[in-house]
A and B are shown apart, each in its own frame.
Chain A
Amino acid sequence: MDLINVSYDSQIPNNVGLSSDKKVLKALEKWHPGYINWWNDLIPQNFQDSMVYLRTAVSVDPKGWAKFDYVKMPDYRWGILLAPAVEGRTIPMGEHLGEPAWQEVPGEYRNMLKRLIVIQGDTEPGSVEQQRFLGLTAPSLYDMRNLFQVNVEEGRHLWAMVYLLQKYFGKDGREEADDMLVRSSGSDDSPRMLGAFNEETPDWLSFFMFTYFTDRDGKMQLESLAQSGFDPLSRTVRFMLTEEAHHMFVGETGVGRTIQATLDAMNKAGITDPYDIAKIRDLGVIDLPTIQKKLNLHYTLSLDLFGQEVSTNAANAFNYGIKGRYMEQRIDDDHKLQNDTYPVTSIKDGKILTEDVPALTAINMRLRDDYVRDASGGVGRWNKLIAKSGVQFEFKMPHEGFHRQIGVFSSVAVDPDGAIVSAEEWAKRQDEWLPTKEDGAFIQSLMKPCYEPGKYATWIAPPKVGIDNKPGDFEYVKLHMA
């Protein structure tokens, strides 16, 4: 892309009237080169030069919002698209319930809104940074394409948040937009804001788990921001959610295909005991108990993203009409919660209890509960694959208190079944529950690239259908080989 002569109006798909918004155009012009540099420094060069079969959001029409085509990632058209305005939309919760949604930022909530947008925005580039080297070990061109699809869309999500910051939050907003490119995942000097986005994504199973569990936290956060009384935010995230669904699809099917390859290999070799780990690993697939450990890890890291169970900030955000609950409109209550309670887990005298607390303060807990339900669906589908194969094994979501760094459980050690255990017991047994170095090394040993169209690494099964209904041997990425 010609960096100097970007025609922002024509090159940035948008439905926000960018061409006539001089102020935002100017801000974007300043920010954009930094973004392109960030992108170029991030992803290995040969992938930057490859043609990737990507979908690009070009409009917000539910029937045809995206088009598929080969594109070099740096030329991807990161658009600024807001879901269509809802005529006469009102604020769906809190003390401003029923008032017309805000089209401008209310001064008194400016800081809180800005903070929420910054935190959300910070996760988007964070995950791209975590996944930057995965292309080198892609198990197929199909998977590589999915990775890059997720990456460019997370990039677009960053754009979306940056647009809001630049358009509505003045000089502070522009500075925050710049800082998005200063922070970087895992950096000592300026790490990403949330812990899970500073962890490594060292292998593809981690990537799939991440897109299944951690992107789903993103989905829940976006769902609650979609309720925002600040209409431009609501519209922005509603559109992001359409893309986010694909990320979770990549995660769920990725883990499912990993499981499938294991089951197929076991059956072929006549192994019935899922705990016969050494033998199973010799087949070049990942044993189910290890997959369970990966699930334990990513699920619990994602639970931490919901913050403290009882939170003043979350209460404020709800009450001010800035952030709602999952599916706010479908909840049958007064949407004000000033007199309601909600059960929250707590620990008293070494026992796990539930206590009713004022519902306003339990917004985080409620969203986490919704998340747990949402996340269990895919796990059930994975178990169906196993049942179908005849192998005796079942994945379990560990107890919500297991392996937690944030919230009431952070002070105690809890086993996956929900029993509080001593620190010694935890130290002794954590290798049964969480991936060990050796597990990681084994998974890493399987991470050999498989770049031939239609071919897949041993440890993962082919997908049932192709992207955009393409045939099995479709060349999803035309690799540039320097």
Chain B
Amino acid sequence: MTKIINFQTDPSQYKHWKVEYDGAVANLFMDVDEDGGLFDGYQLKLNSYDLGVDIELADVVQRMRFEHPEVKVVVMQSAKDKVFCAGANIRMLGGAAHSHKVNFCKFTNETRNTYEAALADSAQNYICAVKGACAGGGYELALACNHIMLTDDSASSVSLPEVPLLAVLPGTGGLTRVTDKRKVRRDLADVFCSVEEGVKGKRALTWRLVDEVIPNSKFDEAVVARAHEMAENSAKADVAKGINLTPLTREISEDAVIYSTVEVTLDRAGRRSTILIKGPTDAAPADMAAFEAMGDQSWMLRCARELDDAILHLRLNEMELGLMEFQTQGDPESVIAHEALMLNDPDHWLSNEVLKYWKRVLKRVDMTSRSLVATVEHGSCFAGPLAELLWSVDRSYMMLEEFDGDNRPMASLTLSAGNFDTYPMGNDLTRLQTRFLGTPEDVDTAQMRIGEALEAGDAEELGLVTYAYDDIDWEDEVRLFMEERASFSPDAMTGMEANLRFAGPETMETRIFGRLTAWQNWIFQRPNAVGEEGALQRYGTGVRGKYNMERV
């Protein structure tokens, strides 16, 4: 795959989705263009999807929050006649490299989580109207909605046929949401996940697989009525108008990707990338009205969008760069000021959206299966939301005292109130809570230092960075770490890091990314699924997968 996968799109370029706005209700239609696949070699039949379809969905979901805050209920539905969605395209999966499959699943999972959480985060509620077959990834799309309506036409059903049909698992949260979110009894879930044809009608309701079953002749009407009723009872405040998300400034070259606030440099020989985030150059807007007037141009929003895109670009397009180094440059006080504008006006819809977006972007960093390191150099601005990066990465290094010939301001990091509740991880704890799981008092200690420019000595003592090195040691230590990291097995690194990053309690999200994904990735490697005679490879040929019957 030499072609660059582009995560930037906009409604004028959509091939697979349509949105119709009806006041506080948006009708989101899935209408996948069979011939619009991201790669050659497969057709997206029956509303099946590939990464390209999901990139558009992610864009829809993102714009719904920023461009259409007036929308309180989004109704996900199919524009095709007899099918809701047949799930991820099997031929695409069969033909894709393991790494692509994994990144594909990760991205689709992040998108599902995002629209699922839109209710809790912004009171924007995604509901789902299922007409026609709703299988595998199709039902997983529905599961991530918060209310599922199924037509009773004695044909439409919901199903997770992955196990009997393909010898893999439903990879976007299906198993987890069936038991944890919908609380389907485990033995019924076992039956449900073993029958290819799934469950329809009243039984789908009794088993809790859907929330409503409606006679087909009344279905469309009932969906409209339910959507409007939910919109009327919505807790979401009225917002007249959103802001436009304009195209990012981005320049992709052989060894760099340059945005307005983010610069990615690629060191292919060293198998690493550096993500340099530049702090704000302008003063923070006077208030949220001024912020809103700037559209998507204020630093907080621009930086979040650019960082988000950079991470996705590196994940999918630069798979051999196993180490990501985060750096920042700028004025920490200015970062704090830009964040404070929002922390101080949390009820403003746009404050909420921008902060929730930062939450998502930081989770995206947490979830990135690369070795992550932050280097806190002189002149850097790890403050507020950028400080979160220090606890997202696997290790952090900070410059201690003055460096010869370096006249940049002394390296420091600055905590804000945001670091103590605004950007929780997938485990629902803040990064500091997760970091100090065994010594919760350290969180309190740190909290008392909010607003101070903490230099290396203090930062190390507070446990906020891994190492502080002075001029003598810095270069060697950092170089040695990076060289060592680049020499380890990438698989072992991914496994180790993923296990160490997510301490603390399990949530549905951590179960999806940790447990379900890990199992899925194991199965995705096994001959029973992907071997030449495995079910995934053989799907569509009419010849069955041959299984090694040994239980491992």
Contacts and interface: CB of A to CB of B under 8 A. Distances in A.
A193 B133 CA distance: 12
Contacts of A411: 34
A315 B541 contact: yes
A411 B80 CA distance: 13
A131 B45 CA distance: 34
B417 interface: no
A358 B540 CA distance: 10
The 4 A-B residue pairs whose C-beta atoms are closest, nearest first, are: A315-B542, A360-B542, A188-B217, A190-B154
A361 B539 CA distance: 11
Which residue of B34, B153, B539, B543 has the most chain A CB atoms within 10 A of its CB atom? B543
Nearest to A114: B197
B16 to A, nearest CB: 16
Nearest to A336: B543
Interface string B111-150: 0000000000000000000000000000000000000000
A188 B221 CA distance: 13
8 contacts: A95-B544, A111-B197, A187-B216, A315-B543, A316-B542, A319-B544, A320-B544, A360-B543
Contacts of A189: 152-154, 215-217
B236 to A, nearest CB: 34
A320 B216 CA distance: 35
Contact of A190 (B155, B195, B543): B155
Contact of B197 (A115, A338, A360): A115
B196 interface: yes
A318 B152 contact: no
B153 A191 contact: yes
Interface of A: 95, 111-112, 115, 179, 182-183, 187-191, 193, 312, 314-316, 318-320, 337-338, 358, 360-361, 363, 411
Interface in B151-178: 152-155, 164
Contact of B543 (A115, A179, A183, A319): A319
A193 to B, nearest CB: 6
Given A111-B195, A111-B196, A111-B197, A190 B541 contact: no
A438 to B, nearest CB: 28
Given A111-B196, A190-B216, A318 B155 contact: no
Contacts of B154: 179, 182-183, 189-190
A360 B541 contact: yes
Nearest to A179: B154
Given A312-B539, A312-B540, A338-B543, A190 B152 contact: yes
Interface residues of B, number: 18
A338 B538 CA distance: 12
A350 to B, nearest CB: 13
Nearest to A337: B542
A268 B402 CA distance: 115
Contacts of A179: 154
A188 B541 contact: no
A411 B544 CA distance: 31
Nearest to B45: A308
A99 to B, nearest CB: 15
A179 B195 CA distance: 18
B162 to A, nearest CB: 14
A245 B545 CA distance: 39
Nearest to A110: B195
Contacts of B195: 111
A319 B545 CA distance: 12
A124 to B, nearest CB: 16
A361 B216 contact: no
Which residue of B216, B542, B543 has the most chain A CB atoms within 10 A of its CB atom? B542
A193 B157 CA distance: 13
Nearest to B539: A312
A319 B195 CA distance: 20
Contact of B540 (A95, A190, A361): A361
B217 A358 contact: no
Contacts of A319: 542-544
